[in-house]
Amino acid sequence: MEKIKIGVIGMGRIGKIHFENLKNQIENAEVVAVSDPNLKEDLGVPNMEALDLIQSGQVDAVVICSPTDTHADYISACAAAGKHVFCEKPHDLSISRVIETLEEINQAGVNLMLGFNRRFDPNFQKIRTLVQEGEIGDVHMLKITSRDPAPPSLEYLKSSGGMFLDMSIHDFDMARFIMGKEVEEVYAVAAAFVSDDVKEAGDYDTAVVTLKFEDGSMGVIDNSRKAVYGYDQRLEIFGSNGMAKVDNNKPDTHVLYNQHGAHGALPLNFFMERYTLSYQIEMRRFVESLTGGSQMPVSGFDGLQAMLIALAAQKSVMEKRPIRLKEIEDKVGILLY
């Protein structure tokens, strides 16, 4: 079978993960080029200008892992060149730019997958399966705990779009994925407790977000930029037939009992360790969708919805009231679905 030929743009932390997975774990793909002006190592494939890579006849699909402010331009270029795209989240910090490029993608007839890797984590997959199989019954409530081990640098914070668009957006996507329903209303409280950088950036580091889904069911997400005990990623789902939850993964299962207590390992820290497997499965699913001609498991629409929730959360904190997603949509004039 022909292998899908892939170019990777941006060889930072996450670009390298995708590169290694495409190289070592996925049979039906090969990386034929990378693009990163700062890359020092020789990876055995040419390191090209991003636009050259996109337009190269050698490349079937492009994996975009460069800084956020380049995403939309590269997606546009991929659409123009007729190349399929995998793009790390967020698509762009401007909703109108997102909508614009989604239209280009649509018109070009190419596929776009957004990098919400957590959907492919075995824990969250299991919860989704339980929901789909009716084990939870009518779902009444979803609870997500999502805490980072430490806040990013001030520089990163300043261009991140804020906690909701940068960090909570994963949880907003997770909420839609697990529930299989759209969010209708958002209420959020937020504060800057853990970091002066966060305050300086005018951002939040701690939040509680209440979601109301289209059928009246509820969701609660709690976020923090700094859990001293590590990367805390848990989820619980509750409904008429029961409740299910998933806990953190740990590096080992040991418990030590001594005169001071019972002591076990902390959660895997950080996303590189916690979501190793989800990154592999994510990229495999991208390639399978291309080779099998099936729908992308995470679409541009999914990325857009998560952004709308993030914007509603931001607005809710500022205006101290619940915000209906429709208020955000109306403002940006979403027409295309």
Task: List residues binding its own copies (CB under 8 A).
Answer: 23-25, 122-123, 125-127, 130, 135, 138, 140-141, 143, 145, 147, 187, 189, 191, 193-194, 206, 208, 210, 212, 216-218, 220, 222, 224, 226-230, 232, 238, 240-249, 251-266, 320-322
CB of 41 to its own copies, least distance (A): 12
Shortest distance (Å) from residue 259 CB to its own copies: 5
Between 83 and 274, CB nearer to its own copies: 274
Of 141 and 332, the one with the shorter C-beta distance to its own copies is: 141
What distance in Å separates the CA atoms of residue 220 and residue 162, rounded to the nearest whole number?
A: 19
**DSSP three-state, residue 135:** coil
Distances (CA, A) of 136 to 140, 142, 264: 9, 11, 30
Nearer to its own copies by Cβ, of 74 and 204: the residue is 204
Return the structure tokens found at 88.
């790390």
Amino acid 58 reads: Q
DSSP state of 164: I
Angle CA 314–168–22, to nearest 5: 140
- Taking the complex as a whole, how short is the minimal distance between the CB of residue 221 and its own copies, in angstroms? 10
Q: CB under 8 Å to 97, separation ≥6 — which residues?
A: 72
Least separation in angstroms between residue 80's CB and its own copies is 35
In the complex with its own copies, the residue whose CB is nearer, 26 or 114, is 26
Closer residue to its own copies (CB): 256 or 336: 256
Residue 239 CA to chain centroid, in angstroms?
26
Please give the Cα distance from 310 to 131 (Å, whole number): 24
Q: How far is the CB of 211 from its own copies (least distance, A)?
A: 9
Give least dist CB 254 to its own copies, A. Answer: 5
Residue with tokens 């020092």: 40
* C-beta of 70 vs 276, nearer to its own copies: 276
